[in-house]
Amino acid sequence: MSINQSITPITLEEKDNLIIGGCDLVDLAKQYGTPLYVIDEQTLRGICREYKKVFANYKNIKMMYASKALCTSAIVKILAEEGFGFDTVSGGEIYTVYKAGVNMSDVLFNGNNKSKKEIELALDCKVGRFSVDNFYEAELLNDIASKKGLTADILLRITPGIECHTHNYIQTGQIDSKFGFDLTQIDMIADLVINKYKSLKLRGLHAHIGSQIFESRSYYDEVGILVKEFARIREKFNINLDEINIGGGLGVKYTENDNPPSVETLAEAVTRALEENSVQPNTIYIEPGRSIISTSGVTLYTVGSSKQVPGGRKYVAIDGGMADNPRPSMYQAEYTAKVANKIHYNKTEKVTLAGRYCESGDILIKEIELPPLDPGDIICVFNTGAYNYSMASNYNRVEKPAMVLVNNSLSDIIVYRETLDNLVSQDNIPDRLKKDD
């Protein structure tokens, strides 16, 4: 079984309390406070090595971590050690991987509305590839690169017209998408890059069909389209294209109802599509994000108040919610949880875990069977490594949680908990408002 097909980290143990990475989760909650993001290093490295192993026979395939899933300096360091490059989508992500000491030739800058400032940063940091998303960006990038006396290596991001079965908000490969060039626009942008924009060098094509994908056939179809377009453009314009990037999006198992393909199944679909086409690009990039980081992460919460609706649900409130995990509110995402300090209780009750934020929609998990809960109990929500911290906010002016890395019974802070002083550090009161002080 692939790690992305597991709800829990591979080091999970059930002793007196829940244990991950050799660390007692109740002790972690006491030491670092809650809410607390916990990343299991062994699980993270394990899925990286699994990806490398299943593609080992295809030397032209390179792994790029989709940084938007979770981008911190320590996570970047681990991924770089495991031989991954980085797909970045902002100046902040570029700066994070740069400061972590990553070889920037292994970094791609992606996104549908890159700012002038971000493009300048990417060029100054010597980012290896730009995934050009639209006509405006191509002109802007060419202009900035020209003024710097540089040539930017680019891929053209295309929408291959594939609609995978996932949430509408995380589909990206269908024709009606904000991302990329439609197939009917490829020749026009290719002609501009080749014949007009002299500070751009076209290296290949890029596509991404969505996220939390459960159908390996989608990847087979995508690779077929990319390779055929790759061959057609190379022949029509008589240029030496050498790269395609198929994106990422492999799903993970949040609940027992989820059945994502294994990493090996993904590899079989991709390599079969490549083998069935005579044209073989020199380099094929794959950009897993969620499936790399999600299973290694859990979030710890402390139970607070509760409310029994007469004739209805029982709500149990935790000390976090939609600000540290907005996915249930945004995507109707579902999760699995356990009570870290009540592992061996036989009795259960059905409760709804409610967040502490001032929104009726701040519900973390609806109607989950858990042991009877008391204030102070520690809830462990599984599979929260991806898109929880990276989408976190300061809604209700609440500090963002800390993050710890666990391995071999050791725990280390990799993101410090925000303080109240952090919250007000960027605030400013104009002098004209201070006159009555």
Catalytic residues: 358
SS3 sequence, the chain?
CCHHHCCCCCCCEECCCEEECCEEHHHHHHHHCCCEEEEEHHHHHHHHHHHHHHCCCCCCEEEEEEHHHCCCHHHHHHHHHCCCEEEECCHHHHHHHHHCCCCHHHEEECCCCCCHHHHHHHHHCCCCEEEECCHHHHHHHHHHHHHCCCCEEEEEEEECCCCCCCCHHHECCCCCCCCCEEHHHHHHHHHHHHHCCCCEEEEEEECCCECCECCHHHHHHHHHHHHHHHHHHHHHHCCCCCEEECCCCECCCCCCCCCCCCHHHHHHHHHHHHHCCCCCCCEEEECCCHHHHCCCEEEEEEEEEEEECCCCCEEEEECCCCCCCCHHHHHCCCCCEEECCCCCCCCCEEEEEECCCCCCCCEEEEEEEECCCCCCCEEEEECCCCCCHHHCCCHHHCCCCEEEEEECCEEEEEECCCCHHHHHCCCCCCHHHCCCC
